Amino acid sequence: MKITVYGPGCTNCVTLADHAQAAAKELGLDVEIEKVEDFAEIAKAGIMNTPGLAIDGQVKVKGRVPSIEKIKELLK
Distance separating alpha carbons of residues 69 and 75, to the nearest angstrom: 10
DSSP state of 20: H
The answer to whether residue 4 is catalytic is no
The answer to whether residue 13 is catalytic is yes
Q: Exactly one of 1, 9, 10, 43 is catalytic; which is it?
A: 10
Residue 32 in contact with residue 2, Cβ under 8 Å?
yes
Q: Exactly one of 3, 4, 7, 13 is catalytic; which is it?
A: 13
Q: Which residues are catalytic?
A: 10, 13
